[in-house]
Structure 1
Amino acid sequence: MSDFIERPYENEKNKAIKYVKQLLDKASVDNKQSDKDELAEILRLLDSKRYGLVWEQHAEKVREKLKDVIPVFKENKDKKLSNKVNDDYNFLLEGDNLYILDLLLRTHREKINLIYIDPPYNTRSKKNEDFKYNDTFVTATDSYPHSKWLSFMAPRLRKAKELLTPDGVIAVSIDNHEGYQLKILMDEIFGENNLVGDLHVETSAIAGPRRVQAMKGSVVKTTEFILIYTKGNNLHAMKRPMYDGIPGFDIHYSKFYDGQKQKLINFTQVLKNTPKISETFKQFKLSTSLKNLDCLVRMDNKTIKDWLYSDEISKNLFRYVDKYDGPEQLKVGVNELDGKFIIQNKDGSKVQGYRYFNRIGMSDDYKPQMGERAVRGNLWRGFSADGGNLNKEGGVNFKHGKKPLRLIKQLIKALTPGGKTPITVLDFFAGSGTTGEAVMQLNAEEAGNYKFILGTNDEAIDVAYKRMQNTNAEYPMNLKFFRTDFVRKDAEDLEKSLLDNTKALIELENMTDLNERTDIAIVLNHTQASELNLKGLSKVYMRQRVHRMLVPFEQERYDSAHIEIIDIPDEFFADELGGIE
């Protein structure tokens, strides 16, 4: 094999960098600031990264606004939903999601277990104006459509990463317009090694005009992606598998453990020796072979199915039976070991296999049913079937489209452990609020412990809130509605302005309503601090200067009661206050 030179232009590049550095040193000596600035920028460009996304950076108006103002939340009390189901509240947040994420970083840094978002796909067509950048829709004639989309997504994804728990997961729906750029961007932000997988979701079928296009030779898009990344290094993010139903019987399940004789026999012997089953074979003039058994199951013969799925049969039926040479000491009979099933016959021989019982269960198809099923991989079929009912889901119409409720519910279920484990789900592109309804349905179906935070802009907020009202009628919830407001950084009394807007953040941080909690209190002056009844309290949010004024015996009173004192507004606005006392 011939030799080749790796990175042949690297020496030339290094030579150029060295030369620019010399010019920069000279400009420093000569104290020419303008030359220094321009040369520093040339050096930055020369020494930029070798691999990854490079795009024309665009400045967002909403980001520029943060130079002068501080986002805060104000509650719309008229839209509160309270059913006293428990002390926990869900939150619907109105505003640009860049501001929402900025505020969530003050309350939920490393506290979100799962983020699901369905961002704009940047289709750039007049019919689907789904992506607005700096108050203008990005269309096919735009000079920088991808760059603007990436400039929009990158800061939001970076903030999202900071919100995730160390083992948190983010899932992002996208299609082929920006999916490939998004993959590289998320590799940079979350780490390429933290890619859990890319789901391919069948969202549409080839029918009508789409069929005509396909017949003419077009490759018609029927799937979208869901990119899934974990914040940590745990790639086993799919906590609970989803299953697709399979018609028929897998004829590889051919061995049966005879408990009375304590040995393996061919399953065809069981078919012949079971009168009710052998008579069914005779009725259809079929021999008792596994292939014919598969035919009977496909014919939806209830007698055969009920018998096959019974514990007595399915728990003793095996496939892929091989010799077992492990060191484990096994008694005569069936033993379960690390998910494998070891069978030892009387003659001492051991075999291992997979039990048919584990193949039986409810599927997660559009119409779930009991039967054989297979663990779903990264191809999630059948969600095009949900399209016929999509407009009616949640009782709201949404012109930008919705994701099927079943899809989001299954995704949340797959990516979380369930049970009583507390799970907080965030969707900051909430749209019509599908994620909120999915969470409430899972809570009802599993007696789960899920809470949600939804963020959306003013164009979709009324739809999202209406859907939460509709969901509440069937699945009672507690919900608080906050809208984004602003405090100017040059406000005359900045600390007081921020203190006036702290309660909302305290409620968001604790996912609660402070008016209904007796274990959390807010203290703004020294009199309140001295006279506060500490019985039953666990947290006290105290104005920072009041906390510092506590004399030793007052501090001891709080310490003895094991109360956590949290300084406000410093807890949420430390950088903005800049040492204000």
Structure 2
Amino acid sequence: MSIDKLDLQSPDLVNANFQKLAELFPNCATESTDGKAIDFDLLKQELNHAVVDGNKERYRLEWPGKKEAIVTANLPTNKTLRPVREDSVDFDNTENLYIEGDNLEVLKLLQESYLGKVKMIYIDPPYNTGKDFVYKDNFARDAQEELKESGQKDEYNQRLVANPETSGRYHSDWLSMMYPRLKLARNLLKDDGVIFISIDDNEVHNLRKLCDEVFGESNFISSFIWQRAFSPKNDARFVSNSHDFILMYSKSISDFKIGRLPRTEEANARYSNPDNDPRGDWMSSDISVKTYNRENDYPITTPSGRVVEPPAARCWSLSKNAFFERLQDNRIWFGPNGDNTPRIKRFLSELRNEGMVPTSILLHKEVGHSQEGAQEVVKLLEGKGGFDGPKPIRLLCHLITLANLENDSIVLDFFSGSGSTAQAVMQMNGIDSGIRKYIMVQLPESTEENSESYKAGYKNICEIGKERIRRAAKKIKDETNADIDYSFRVYRLDESNMQDVYYNPQDYKQGSLDLFADNVKPDRTPDDLLAQVMLDWGLPLSYKIERGKIAGKDVFKVAQDSLLACFDKGLDEAFAKEIAKEKPLRVVFRDNGFVNDTAKENVKQLLKQLSPETEMKVI
């Protein structure tokens, strides 16, 4: 008797990458003493027009530890996310997520459920200033060795280590931290999705090269300069550093369309109507372009009789016919005296609905400054706690506009800090009654014992973030009375719900297997099991969850008929007949949840007969 088991671990990206290469280059797929392999010498030749004799110099970003970073990104994990209902708000009905834990492991767990589903990612990672911490992802050491080495040994198994400028791998350690996270994040983006990354001068040069490699140089959109300082520092040694950068990359530049900004009174004031055109105020723009086209290289005679040619190495943007059509429609401007080089008139009345093209300079008067961001947190927490360096809500709302989100898009922030991104998403929803969803991920880093946040009772950053989101939701609801999702589900990263024997039964002798009468760890709840099953089956954690009873057994219904789960014991044929009436797409039970082995096989056969579209698995 054989029933498929859920493997309850994230995808093995090494095997997936092997299959992709094997499909593209079947002649490079071979075998070695360790099994299937890629002939990399032959692959190099396939990607080169010249004969490859050996290693050649190439243009790329390299650093000590890069190969280990690639391995780190590809290693599967069997960790899980456990629901924390007591910290959540309306857990069963909300579609927003707050996840506590190491973002590398969390990103791996989200690979199937959110593959290609996230429209916008914003992150504000450690800037590597020499005074902050970075994640130490050493795949070659076990957790205890790593904790001893880092000196970070606490209840959360934090893997944050100081990275001073004197470190021999100052830039390398930071790059090794960022690379696997960006690589996994890219998988989650939709084809028309974008990522924004805040950074300062310390690593912007390396981050740009890193993103060129991960996202593709052709998918670079902009390097925004944000005027973060409210006022300059007169005590700066050389220059008052008043800006940060925000890099913007698309998943696929051909699929992405940037959002336009609302027009401002200042922008509208630049338009006027010097010739009393009945269509109203206008502004003129150049009609010459750099891309040369012989057909668009022709002389134009101005009303004063002067003959005008296109500037050197340029041509007109309009063909002769298009030019004369616009001339007849009074859309060509030759200046007040009719003697200037022709320009085309752009009418304000025709541009109002198009919005404004964004610029790469973000002024604090338009999008806020760092002091504003800090004050927003302090005000929400009523002066009892704060956060170092939160981004202002106006800035994040600006980025959300540029990302051109659909009404139901998902926004991900896996360095979520105090939760500014979550507040910005709710605020945008409050304006237009949208149903945009957020996923916040944050390591529960301990707050400093002498900090105001610690004194106010916030023992880690996640406690600040969750409380900030709760209070921001109340504030937005009071101000807008919008009917939107103000709630969120909390999940916490933990070791698998399953005993080690579940993954490696070959490591145990037959006699010792009796010690594991149950695959599931004794402290795990049905809620815990459901979350791990949803992740393994590729179902979004935001799906609506309903609880009920069928034939006297507790069941979970996920997104109506997407999944039906029952982790009770004593399941039999009568239960299977009731389940079949629901016609679920998927069902999952505990392996030892049946009355006996015969009942397990009978349940399987009954479901095949009564609900043939239902897929059954056990854990």
TM-score by length of 2: 0.60
> Partner letter of residue 496 of structure 2?
V
249 and 518 in structure 1: CA distance in 2 versus 1, 3 angstrom threshold: closer
375 and 326 in structure 1: CA distance in 2 versus 1, 3 angstrom threshold: same
The CA deviation at 1:238 is 1.6
The CA deviation at 1:510 is 4.8
1:452 equivalent in alignment to 2:479: no
1:94 to 78, 100, 119: 100
251 and 477 in structure 1: CA distance in 2 versus 1, 3 angstrom threshold: closer
What CA distance in whole angstroms lies between the structure 2 residues aligned with 1:356 and 1:68?
Answer: 55
What CA distance in whole angstroms lies between the structure 2 residues aligned with 1:194 and 1:68?
Answer: 28
What CA distance in whole angstroms lies between the structure 2 residues aligned with 1:544 and 1:415?
Answer: 43
Deviations 1:519-561 (A, max 9, x none): 44424566444321545x66434359899977677436435xx
CA contact 1:255–1:319 (8 Å) conserved in 2? no
CA contact 1:254–1:319 (8 Å) conserved in 2? no
1:503 equivalent in alignment to 2:550: no
SS in 1 for 2:218: helix
Output aligned runs, 1:141-156, within 5 Å.
141-156=166-181
What CA distance in whole angstroms lies between the structure 1 residues aligned with 2:604 and 2:133?
Answer: 58
CA contact 1:201–1:225 (8 Å) conserved in 2? yes
The CA deviation at 1:374 is 5.7
Output aligned runs, 1:128-527, within 5 Å.
129-131=132-134, 133=136, 134-207=159-232, 210-213=233-236, 218-234=238-254, 236-241=256-261, 243=263, 246=266, 249-250=269-270, 253-258=273-278, 315-320=279-284, 326=321, 353-358=345-350, 375-382=357-364, 385-394=368-377, 395-396=380-381, 397-418=385-406, 421-459=407-445, 460-474=461-475, 475=477, 477-487=486-496, 491-494=500-503, 496-497=519-520, 501-505=528-532, 506=534, 509-515=540-546, 518-523=560-565, 527=573
The CA deviation at 1:252 is 5.7
Match of 2:294 in 1: none
The CA deviation at 1:79 is 1.2
55 and 328 in structure 1: CA distance in 2 versus 1, 3 angstrom threshold: closer
What CA distance in whole angstroms lies between the structure 1 residues aligned with 2:520 and 2:390?
Answer: 39
The CA deviation at 1:389 is 3.3
Match of 1:304 in 2: none
What CA distance in whole angstroms lies between the structure 1 residues aligned with 2:362 and 2:213?
Answer: 26
135 and 80 in structure 1: CA distance in 2 versus 1, 3 angstrom threshold: closer
Match of 1:72 in 2: 80
RMSD: 4.4
What CA distance in whole angstroms lies between the structure 2 residues aligned with 1:353 and 1:548?
Answer: 77
Deviations 1:34-82 (A, max 9, x none): xxxxxxxxxx9x7376112111117999x98998962101111111202
Match of 1:120 in 2: 126
438 and 80 in structure 1: CA distance in 2 versus 1, 3 angstrom threshold: same
548 and 398 in structure 1: CA distance in 2 versus 1, 3 angstrom threshold: farther
Structure in which a larger fraction of residues adopt helix? 1
Match of 1:272 in 2: none
The CA deviation at 1:94 is 0.4
TM-score by length of 1: 0.64
> Partner letter of residue 121 of structure 2?
I
CA contact 2:423–2:469 (8 Å) conserved in 1? yes
The CA deviation at 1:109 is 1.3
Aligned residues: 434
The CA deviation at 1:444 is 0.9
CA contact 2:499–2:519 (8 Å) conserved in 1? no
Residue identity over aligned pairs, in percent, reads 22
The CA deviation at 1:194 is 0.7
CA contact 1:69–1:486 (8 Å) conserved in 2? no
Match of 2:311 in 1: none
Structure 1: 5+ residue stretches without partners: 1-30, 32-43, 259-314, 343-350, 363-372, 570-581
What CA distance in whole angstroms lies between the structure 2 residues aligned with 1:54 and 1:452?
Answer: 34
2:586 to 540, 545, 557: 540
> Partner letter of residue 261 of structure 2?
P
Match of 1:20 in 2: none
What CA distance in whole angstroms lies between the structure 1 residues aligned with 2:352 and 2:72?
Answer: 57
What CA distance in whole angstroms lies between the structure 2 residues aligned with 1:557 and 1:341?
Answer: 73
When Rg is computed on C-alpha atoms for both structures, the one with the higher figure is: 1
The CA deviation at 1:491 is 1.1
The CA deviation at 1:492 is 2.2
The CA deviation at 1:564 is 6.2
The CA deviation at 1:115 is 0.9
Match of 2:109 in 1: 103
The CA deviation at 1:334 is 7.8
The CA deviation at 1:462 is 0.7
CA contact 1:116–1:171 (8 Å) conserved in 2? yes
The CA deviation at 1:243 is 5.0
The CA deviation at 1:135 is 3.6
What CA distance in whole angstroms lies between the structure 2 residues aligned with 1:108 and 1:485?
Answer: 19
What CA distance in whole angstroms lies between the structure 2 residues aligned with 1:110 and 1:549?
Answer: 38
249 and 78 in structure 1: CA distance in 2 versus 1, 3 angstrom threshold: closer
